[in-house]
Structure 1
Amino acid sequence: MNTTTSKKEQRKLMMLNEPISKVIPKMAVPTIVAFLITSIYNLADTYFVSFLGTNATAAVSVNASLDQIIMMAGSLLAIGANSYIARLLGARDKDKANRVFSTAFFLAASFGLIVLAIGTTFIYPVVRMLGATESCESYAVQYATYVLLVAPFMASSFVMNQCLRAEGSALFSMIGMGFGGVLNCFLDPVFIFGMDLGVAGASMATAISKLVSFCILFYPYFRRKSMLHISLKYFCPTKEILYQIGSIGSASMFRSLLGVASGIALNNIAGGISDSVLAGIGVSTKIMMFPFSVFLGFGAGFQPVAGFNWGAKRFNRVRECYKFSSRVALIGSTAAGALMALFAPSIIGWFTTSDPEMLAIGALCIRLQCLALPIHAWAMVVNMFCAGLGYFPGAMLIATARQGSCFFPVLFPLAWLSGGDGVAASQAVADLLSLFLAIPIHRIVMEKVSRAEEEYRNEGKVLLDV
């Protein structure tokens, strides 16, 4: 047995046999680090651009929705492929896993090309649609220009990143995302100030970093150091593969779609009040991505472990995955929320020293979302549990609640009643409402596990609990 094969077998044994309290952190920590680094370099753009003024800061905030649009199909294909591939690898069907992976990769790249073509052709209408005001429109166009050029690489990188996790290679996934993030932090001041490129320099730095991340993530597939392989010969968009990817991935896609829609709505409402409110909401949203990234990364580490064991019929480990992850999410979110709420004004103060309206709105938004953070973290675990087990309805309902079914009904009334303060409170109220969906879905999916276990016993199969 060669070294590469040995490592692949070790990853399988890790997913099936190591204690849950060890294997989930082992999978999750690299993903959390990668997501945190991504959050840092997204915030780095905002931080360095903030020295150019409130209008420039507002323009970068507006373009956060452009990133979500680019990642929308990537999330559909990546999350769906991650779930299906983890189950296929758990069932030892590697050939089909390769077909699923290659299909997702090439479809994501194709979507990125479509976004590139449409975005560059209609760039001014696009940034206005995203919520750019007249005073920040030119900055928004400068930032969007270079990000659009790497759209195909961004979308396909997301697929590679998720599928590396599905096969247990979370560390390489972290390196791919993390190195690009660190590079962006170094390039931002060089391009923005050293080369005097302003907002366009921030966009260039981001584009180069995304391209470097793509190359790093592509390396293990190119050198055949992964379980999965990319090849056009594996491209097989059959009805079954598309259904399996789409049924779970659509929950993530709709979450991204609703994230775009909610971001555009927030931008337009906030921008209608003032650029200061627009900048304050945008900055606080990016700051809250830090705790969200931790719990999203934790969920992304937990999901393939649950899915792998579900495919291998290891039902006790499936339950243990969920219980362990729920405890960690609730304890961690409570501690993180309390700490961030305490220092909210100081954190927002890093991004403005001369705009009291931006400071007040941003601090209020952070504090209210911190109060609801435990709900958001636990709902994320339930969502990832549904996705890992292939339970489409539950994954869809929870994924679309926070920025959709629970968000839009409260956004406009709160904005009408309380102006900027109402806009700042809208996401926290939506998080609270999402609890009323997560609780019954949690019960349904646990019953699903119990039924599957009972059916497996009735077939005379032996359950492996080791």
Structure 2
Amino acid sequence: MKNKQSQKTKTKKDADAEYAEMTQGPLRSLIIRLAIPAIISNLVTTIYSLSDTFFIGRLGTAQSGAMGIAFSVMTVIQAMGFFFGNGAGNSMSRELGKHNNTRAARLLSIGFIGALASGLAITLVGLSTLHPLVRMLGATPTIEPYAVTYLIPLLIAAPMMCGSFALNCLLRYQGLASLAMIGLVIGSALNLILEPVFIFLLHMGMFGAALATAICQTISFVILAVLSMMHGVVHFSLRQCRLTVPLAREIAGGGLPSMIRNAAGTLAVTCVNIAANPFGDAAIAGMAIVMRIMLGANSIMIGLGQGFQPVCGYNYGAGLYKRVLKGFWFCVKVATIAMLAFAAIIWITAPDLVRIFRDDTAVVLIGTAALRFQCYTLALNGYNMMANTMQQTIGKTVAASFLAFCRLGLFLAPAVLILPHMLGIVGVECAQCVSDVLTLICTIPVHRRILDGLNREEIGA
């Protein structure tokens, strides 16, 4: 009994200390401190993704194209993990800002169990429809067998992967970004060792690449689960998993923008594969490599937004709207400057970047052109991403969901299907650039209304 009371006292002290830091600590340094582990996590995850592309690129062009097909399925797995992680985490951070730790613990528990259940559903559906699935996603006859081989281990590990993505979010929303980083970094670093061993030394090819990923994702899941139980501000408990209509509505509202963003990403990748299909395996492989490289460029911007999320949630829940606004504009400035720098670097090194992953003349030409088109508008995404992150965190579900769908769904999918009929392969290469401009045009007026509302609430307070 004394031990339980002591644990409750310690948990309360930890929660109070976290609240004080989030609502009173120096804003810029706080966001940067929380963003650095998130950026490292994203960079390491991107390095793992790029290493996957690099090692598989040594096997052949069809195998590289299979990665583009598998990317759609992996995006769905990520989408479900983020749906429950961000859905529960957004509300959880606001409840922590209101000192409502019991409700925060319920949100965490429901989000975690929901992620595991959704991963299991993906496993069952994916394995039972695998061949028609990869054909629907744009696989050519030469790419199809490699895509199927690669997806089998990943689909089996889908519950752990969904759980890992959700736990990463739930730890970050508690202000524990460093702990969230540890699990992902260990798993990704281990993958860099296992993947070449399985592919080349054990001669397991595509299956070995996927098996290494599945094993490492499972290890990350276990590490994150242990860290969450040991060090979380609030803790998982099966007794807390009582889902009510208000809680379900909150989780769905908070997670819907993430799900739409990732679903739009899956739609976009599928449309890119379909649009590139008539131009051959080299076009599919080139665009798959470009998508992986741009993940690296975007990882810093996304990590900065992830550092802002717990600060935004705590302070919005506490009614400190001025800190929310200051944090937002700080993140927009930093993200825009960082993306301008990345655009310059990518423009200069584009051919060499593509050649690292596949030294094929056709692949390099297509990949270089697509990368340079995206450099024109990369900096615009600083405002787009931070606006969408803020909307999601403060519970503006409709605005966040609409703008999450714009960049990859509403604008990119039609652009990549229409422009190739007018411009040929150039239409595939420039579609993302067109989408980014149209997204900014939509984001500015929508987010301006939200900023004006927070200014009025601050003045009224």
TM range, normalised to the smaller chain?
over 0.9
In the alignment, is the contact (CA less than 8 A) between 2:11 and 2:234 conserved in 1? Answer: no
Q: Deviations over 1:84-130 (max 9, x none)?
A: 11100000101101111111111111111111011112211122122
Correspondent of 2:97 among 90, 94, 98: 90
Correspondent of 2:148 among 141, 144, 165: 141
Tell me which amino acid in the other structure corresponds to 2:302. Answer: L
Report what 1:110 is aligned to.
Answer: 117
In the alignment, is the contact (CA less than 8 A) between 2:157 and 2:218 conserved in 1? Answer: yes
Correspondence list, 1:297-336, <5 A: 297-336=303-342
Q: Deviations over 1:165-198 (max 9, x none)?
A: 1111000001111111111111111000010000
Report what 2:3 is aligned to.
Answer: none
Separation of aligned partners in 1, 2:414 and 2:133: 25
Kindly tell me the number of residue pairs found equivalent between the two proteins: 454
- Deviation, 1:4, is 5.9
Separation of aligned partners in 1, 2:135 and 2:251: 33
- Deviation, 1:139, is 0.8
Q: Deviations over 1:279-333 (max 9, x none)?
A: 0000011000011111111111112211110101112211111111111111111
Q: Deviations over 1:377-424 (max 9, x none)?
A: 220001111112111122112211111112233222211112222101
Separation of aligned partners in 1, 2:15 and 2:348: 45
Separation of aligned partners in 2, 1:236 and 1:73: 20
- Deviation, 1:231, is 1.7
- Deviation, 1:72, is 2.1
Correspondent of 1:59 among 58, 61, 66: 66
Correspondent of 1:27 among 19, 30, 34: 34
Report what 1:342 is aligned to.
Answer: 348
In the alignment, is the contact (CA less than 8 A) between 1:60 and 1:140 conserved in 2? Answer: yes
**What's the TM-score, normalizing by structure 1?**
0.95
In the alignment, is the contact (CA less than 8 A) between 1:165 and 1:173 conserved in 2? Answer: yes
- Deviation, 1:7, is 4.2
Report what 2:290 is aligned to.
Answer: 284
Separation of aligned partners in 2, 1:441 and 1:36: 30
Q: What is the Cα-based RMSD across aligned positions, in Å?
A: 1.4
Separation of aligned partners in 1, 2:242 and 2:369: 49
In the alignment, is the contact (CA less than 8 A) between 2:153 and 2:211 conserved in 1? Answer: yes
Cα distance change on mapping 1:427 and 1:268 into 2, 3 Å = same
Separation of aligned partners in 1, 2:454 and 2:47: 38
Separation of aligned partners in 2, 1:43 and 1:449: 40
Report what 1:461 is aligned to.
Answer: none
In the alignment, is the contact (CA less than 8 A) between 1:326 and 1:381 conserved in 2? Answer: yes
Report what 1:374 is aligned to.
Answer: 379
Separation of aligned partners in 1, 2:212 and 2:20: 40
Report what 1:249 is aligned to.
Answer: 255
Separation of aligned partners in 1, 2:353 and 2:13: 47
Correspondent of 1:404 among 392, 398, 409: 409
Separation of aligned partners in 2, 1:271 and 1:217: 39
Tell me which amino acid in the other structure corresponds to 1:366. Answer: L
Tell me which amino acid in the other structure corresponds to 2:393. Answer: G
Percent identity, aligned pairs only?
33
- Deviation, 1:263, is 1.0
Cα distance change on mapping 1:98 and 1:7 into 2, 3 Å = closer
- Deviation, 1:17, is 1.4
Separation of aligned partners in 2, 1:352 and 1:156: 33
Report what 1:202 is aligned to.
Answer: 209
The farther-off stretch of 181-190 and 446-455 is 446-455
- Deviation, 1:5, is 5.3
Correspondent of 2:391 among 386, 395, 411: 386
**What's the TM-score, normalizing by structure 2?**
0.96
Give the secondary structure class of the aligned counterpart of 1:63. Answer: helix
Separation of aligned partners in 2, 1:120 and 1:408: 26
Correspondent of 1:183 among 168, 173, 190: 190
- Deviation, 1:447, is 1.5
1:448 aligns with 2:453: yes
Report what 2:236 is aligned to.
Answer: 230
Report what 1:437 is aligned to.
Answer: 442
Separation of aligned partners in 1, 2:236 and 2:459: 38
